[in-house]
Structure 1
Amino acid sequence: MLTAASLRMLAPSSSLAQSREIEVAFLSDIHLQDVYATLHSADFKGVFHPKTGKYATIRSMKSQLNSTRLFNENYFAFIQALEDLKHKGIRLVVLPGDFTDDGQPMNVLALQGILERYAEACGMRFFLTTGNHDPVKPYGGIGGKKDFLAADGSEQAIAGDADFFPSEKVAVSSQINYWGYEEITHALSDFGFFPAAQDLFWAHPFQELDVDGYDFRRAMENSRLDQRLYKTENSEKLVPDASYVVEPVARVWLLALDGNVYTPSGANWSGSSVGFNQAVTAKRHQLEWIKKVALEAAKRGKTLISFSHYPLVDFHDTASDAMKSLFGEQKFQLARVPSPETSSEYAKAGIRIHFAGHMHINDTGMFKEAVSGKTLYNVQVPSLAAFPPAYKILTLPEPETMEISTIQLETVDRMDEFFDLYRVEQQWLLQTDDPKRWNPRILDARDYLDYTRNHLLQLTESRFIPTDWPENLAAVLQELSQMDLERWAGMGSEDGENFLMKKLEETNQTERPDDFQGKLIEDFYLLKNGDELGKNLIPAVRLRFYESFFLKLLHKPLSESQVLDAQLVRFFSIFKQLYHSLPSDHFLIDLRQEEIRRFEKKPSSLETTPQR
């Protein structure tokens, strides 16, 4: 697949490495939706927007506030992030999956146009890997969404077939169907999935790693998707594996891992969002290939940087088992947490640093393999479509020294472009007395950071608390004041239980005595999703309280009991682990010394974090 972009530079170049320290940006979970798409539909072309004179193809705010991500404003956040990278002069950009809403033609082609524009104008190189949203199904299929915003504020269903939503009036458009591997990788062929002339090396799992004999034209011939197929488990059906390794600049290998696993279901396919807990067995060929790549990279002095949509290490600061005990194994997306056995396999395979998305959180995890002693670092890249909206920059001052900066998006141009349309929606919901009408305070957001934080808060109230939390625990956490917590900390189990049950009886009967009351769950999500970025938003007075309060709980034993007192003790144990996390904002990973060092306020000051 020799494209025009592939031929722009026929000679390999290492000018990036020679002119400055190597920098790689990671922008994950963009979930791009074309907000001004051409639907080619006789039934619906969007909502006419007086501000722009164009038809907006956006989803309703009601839908956004019931989803773990935004659908509309993240389009502008993506452009803002690319503009930021342009001004920083960063030319290597990785997108670790879920780069579109659901791999639909209108969204993949919109992404293609944006990437081509920045590649042409700024010399950026983009390297993509797949996510569970792209492709949803390996060979595509009919798709649709029933929550597009209509002119009167109601919702409009759009699908590739009129019968896709039997109970809805459907606007038919092929632009909303699911594309599969073939269509997606073809449209985005210039962005890592296939070799490019300027790369020093490129290979996929189904060919030999012939570095010395590498030839670009032969690599192109061998890169066709029909040569990159594997058999699914318990089936003879074949599915593509879009993994690849590439050397875009001298001495740096980017290892793109396709962690998607699909299971045949009759004539259809079911996808999976579990990640490497399944891929470790379903894609055994991939794991064996990783071992070869890691050995070859080490032999040749290459810095191997792995990335995938899916994480390789626990992303809850080792609190996942405690969370399963308290909330349940199917809550908080805990099925997506890599098991220690999974982490061990990839650490032994030779991966030392891995960048992942999928979870829409900011985090750094570390796993030390017991037998080999190998250490694997997992860097969770936040989503641009959720709180905290941020991306990562990896700088390589030395081959085994990695400086990682987290760039938070606060100001996003055109963030409020659709707010007037949402106000029409709000009126519709009021007129129809819709029980899922949303709180209009989200439209008062100061900036994009505030907007995504409000999105998280409303999502917590409407979805997370009702579905993920033990009812009494959630209720009492929203009732306890700072004074109540101080009193409870000094009680034994029986007295503590009686005290908490009495507080439950008083729910909503007393005025809140301090600003602390009702903030515990909010702070929990700021830490769980934002890590250090979320911690920065918690007032200093509450941070000081938490640090002293943790010490007062040392005498309270952890118990698997489901009584409220025991649940609260376990909650604060989890809270403490999230609070005392590994660095995740601006930090250094020294692979040689196996240390993480946090950059403090002054970049010259480094604090070494001991390994667990």
Structure 2
Amino acid sequence: MNQYHLWRIGLFGLMNHVVKTCTCGMLVMACLLINYSKATAQEHLDANLVQNALKQAANTEVAFIADVHLHDIYAAPATLAFGHGSQDVTSFDANTSGMSSQKSGSANQFPKDPETQAPLLMRSMQSQLTSTRLFNENYFAFRAALDDIADRGIKLVALPGDFSDDGQPANVKALARILDEYHTRYGMRFFAITGNHDPVRPFTRPGGKPDFLAAKGNEAAIYSPDHIRCINNRAWHCMDDIREWGYREIMQTLKNHGFSANTQDLLYETPFDSIEYEKRGWQWCDEASCIFMPDASYLVEPIKDVWLLAIDANVYIPKGQYADGNFKGSGNAGYNALLTYKPALLQWITTIVKRAKANNKRLIAFSHFPMADFYDNTQSQLESLFGKSSNQLKRMPLPTTTEALDETGLKLHMAGHMHLYDVAPPENPTGLVNIQVPSLAAYQPGYSVVTLLPDQHAKVETIIQREVEDFDRLFPIYYKEWQYRQRGGQTLWNKDILTSPHYLDFTEHHLKEVVRQRYVENEWPNALSTYIKNHTIGDVINQSPCPDLTKDLPVEITSQPALVLAYDYYKLRNAGAFADISGREKWYISGFNEDRLTGCSLPIANDLQRLLIGFLSLLHNAALAIDRTEVTVKGV
């Protein structure tokens, strides 16, 4: 049988690449024309197949919910209260000599749901207002987002990590129940991938926190029985469900939601040619021994021609000898460390991209960690102003890291981790686009939706979750906490947060308190922090070498507390175009531009002036770099 090697480059190219037959005269020309016709027909057929594949996948929508940090406020205490659980809770009483195991009565020491009187496993408001995320309200916000997604008719939902607060059994099992519920009710399918909070370390370990809330309004330490605080009788309660699960337990509990193959999937594979946990991982070796490091990455085709690539970008760097089993957390490692510790994963991603292109698949990648700059090229300013370890700059992908990821051929990556909305455009028109999906647990709360378009483009839209039913359900409990702190002379949070009319406003109050209590108080240079906390915006400008800037600013701006400048910066940085700063961004863009700041008439006289000028410039750049709320990505 004659064989033809056809390079689809026209008749003259074909003449050079016909192998066998076609040996003389008119027969040669006839043969060439016949085979050219075959090649042309094949080209049209392939083109039609591509177009049909694009059309079939077109208008497919995939929702991405990042950083849910689900905390089940209705966890163990409710079970204990009504005697349905077999789990012991051990409580520490400071007035007795030690610990006592209880199955009844202990639930009365927990706060009660104002409506049902069920005991609640809550974190304190103080702990929330010094953290980059909320804890308790996430339980309600997650369900609200899923309801909204269901109303939109979206059936595919991806969770790019930190779906639980710390991988605790109570929270992971609660997540599984919620996902099961929405799958049953709406036919929704969920695809989770791991984050640095799930798991906190690769293997199960003791866990707990010192800032849960007790019924009286005080903070209370709750840990797992194997934690040193329980062993030494220094915990208020000890509960098994507060452990920090490792990979095995999390993947097993969520096996129906991405971590294992499903009969509905057209394709499911891992980098290891196996879906068995024991084979899904890497062998890491030092001079003395080797360890198995799990990896949850997978590729799935939930509907025809749509590929979802879930990348486990966690890297738990060993501390000391590998055999010791001690690991650093993965929060600051990200893709910078992945290139060193998981090079084969990058090769697998490259192979997936090539296969997707060859088979006309629409490929969307997602993972917990960012693949590109998420601070709009202001890293050097942040380092100069606040220091190299500030603002979670250790999490910033190096330019060489982003370049290596771009070389895999990926076009669209949906990330979480930073609790902010950002779009990192590609270095070239057809390169990698990294989208930072906002967290439901921070300002502004939301999720993103990718819609596949028929022209090999994808539209990415971000939806803000303004309304959340029951977001204020716990307010009476928080007020009791505030009163307790006031009586005890403890640091007070701003109780105005308890007047929030909707969830979006609640997250804005949360951000303001984090800015006031954490960022400005602890992460800013002392001179800048002190001045900002005690002066007005007008004072800031007059104290800078650029007092003439006040000429363009209305008095309703210059008379406001200077802390407003800090609030506005973090709002713009975290929410981009979604940030509501009452139109002040136009003043920051026009009034604090580089020409005006560098052209000041007065020389910089002291370090405070340098810091003030640096911050005003940073604020200008944040206002200037506002990302669009909807973007189109090519080549997806």
Matched, 1:587 2:631: yes
Q: Which residue matches 2:19?
A: none
Q: Per the alignment, do residues 547 and 139 of structure 1 end up closer, same or farther by CA in structure 2, a change over 3 Å counting?
A: closer
Kept in 1, the 8 Å contact 2:157–2:189? The answer is yes
Q: Which shows bigger deviation, 225-234 or 314-323? A: 225-234
Q: AA paired with 1:182?
A: R
Task: Report deviation, 1:546.
Answer: 1.8
Would you say 1:36 and 2:95 are equivalent positions?
A: no
**Residues 503-524 of structure 1: per-residue CA shift (max 9 Å, x gap):** xxxxxxxx99623744211110
Deviation of the 1:416 alpha carbon: 1.0
Amino acid at match of 1:185: M
2:590 equivalent to 1:548: yes
Contact preservation (8 Å) 1:411, 1:448 = yes
Match of 2:18 in 1: none
Q: 1:147 to 1:516 in 2, by over 3 A?
A: closer
CA shift in 2, pair 1:555/1:52, >3 Å: closer
Q: 1:577 to 1:555 in 2, by over 3 A?
A: closer
- Are residues 422 and 233 of structure 1, via their aligned partners in 2, closer, same or farther at CA, if it must alter by over 3 Å? farther
Amino acid at match of 2:420: I
Shift of 1:587: 2.6
Write the distance in 2 (CA, Å) between the matches of 1:366 and 1:301. Answer: 24
TM-score (norm 2): 0.80
**Does the CA contact (< 8 Å) of 2:306 and 2:362 recur in 1?**
yes
1:523 aligns with 2:577: no
Gap change, CA 1:475 and 1:163, over 3 Å in 2 = closer
Asked if 1:120 is matched to 2:172, the reply is no
| Matched residue, 1:250 | 304
Task: Report if aligned partners of 2:162, 2:368 keep a CA contact under 8 Å in 1.
Answer: yes
The answer on 1:306 being equivalent to 2:348 is no
Matched, 1:335 2:399: no
Q: Cα–Cα, structure 1 residues 332 and 358, in superposed 2: closer, same or farther, change >3 Å?
A: same
Aligned position for 2:65? 27
On the 8 A contact 2:372/2:396 being kept in 1, the answer is yes
Distance in 2 between residues matched to 1:195 and 1:331, nearest whole Å: 41
Matched, 1:410 2:476: no
**Offset at 1:474?**
3.3
Change (3 A) 1:471 1:487: closer
Q: Secondary structure at the match of 1:268?
A: coil
Shift of 1:554: 4.2
The separation in 1 between residues aligned to 2:557 and 2:629, in whole angstroms, is 34
Structure 1 match to 2:504: 449
1:601 corresponds in structure 2 to none
Q: Is the 8 A contact 1:17 1:250 kept in 2?
A: no
SS at match of 1:133: coil
The answer to whether the 8 Å contact 2:541/2:547 transfers is: no
Q: Note the residue ranges of structure 1 that are not aligned, 5 or more in a row.
A: 1-13, 208-221, 500-510, 593-612
Does 2:215 match 1:151? yes
- SS in structure 2 of the partner of residue 391 of structure 1: strand
- Contact kept? 2:62, 2:154, Cα under 8 Å: yes
1:490, CA displacement in angstroms? Answer: 4.8
Displacement of 1:430 after TM fit?
Answer: 1.6
Q: For residue 604 of structure 1, what is the aligned residue in structure 2?
A: none
Counterparts in 2 of 1:484 and 1:141: CA distance versus 1, 3 Å: closer
Bigger Rg, which one = 2
Helix, strand or coil at the partner of 1:349: coil
SS where residue 618 of structure 2 aligns? helix
SS in 2 for 1:379: strand
Does the CA contact (< 8 Å) of 1:490 and 1:552 recur in 2?
no
Indicate if the aligned counterparts of 2:223 and 2:235 stay in contact, CA closer than 8 A.
no
Instruction: Give the C-alpha shift of residue 115 in structure 1.
Output: 0.1
Q: For residue 37 of structure 1, report the CA deviation from its aligned partner.
A: 0.7
Name the structure where helix makes up a greater proportion of residues.
2
Q: CA deviation at 1:322?
A: 2.0
Q: Give the drift of 1:584.
A: 3.8
Partners of 1:300 and 1:15 in 2: how far apart?
A: 9
Distance, in Å, in 2 between the alignment partners of 1:150 and 1:588 is 48
Cα distance in 2 between the residues matched to 1:249 and 1:431: 59
Alpha-carbon distance in 2 for matches of 1:349, 1:580: 31
Between stretches 281-290 and 576-585, larger displacement belongs to: 576-585
**1:168 positional shift:** 3.0
Give, in whole Å, the separation in 2 of the partners of 1:488 and 1:81.
Answer: 45
Give distance in 1, aligned partners of 2:432 and 2:117: 51
State the superposition RMSD in angstroms.
Answer: 2.8
* CA–CA separation in structure 1 for the residues paired with 2:293 and 2:162: 19
Is the partner of 2:432 in helix, strand or coil? strand
Cα deviation digits, residues 409-458 of structure 1 (max 9, x gap): 11110111111111111121122222x23221111111111111101101
- 8 Å Cα contact 2:114/2:476 also seen in 1: no
Deviation at 1:19, TM superposition (A): 9.3
Query: After the TM superposition, which of the residue ranges 67-76 and 193-202 deviates more from structure 2?
Result: 193-202
The change in CA–CA distance for 1:162 and 1:105 in structure 2 (over 3 A counts) is: closer
> Is residue 275 of structure 2 the alignment partner of residue 223 of structure 1?
yes
- Offset of residue 227 of structure 1: 1.1
Matched, 1:571 2:615: yes
Structure 1 partner of 2:453 = 397
Comparing 316-325 with 562-571, greater Cα deviation is found at 562-571
Aligned 1:360-375 pairs, distance under 5 A: 360-368=419-427, 375=431
1: distance between equivalents of 2:471 and 2:251? 30
Look up the SS of the partner of 1:175 in the other structure: helix
Identity over aligned pairs, percent: 38
CA distance in 1, matches of 2:54, 2:597: 56
Task: Please list every run of 5 or more consecutive structure 2 residues that lacks an aligned counterpart in the other structure.
Answer: 1-51, 78-86, 92-105, 551-555
| Cα distance between partner residues in 1 of 2:242 and 2:605 | 48
Q: Shift in Å at residue 560 of structure 1?
A: 12
Partner of 1:216: none
Alignment partner of 1:269 out of 327, 346, 370? 327
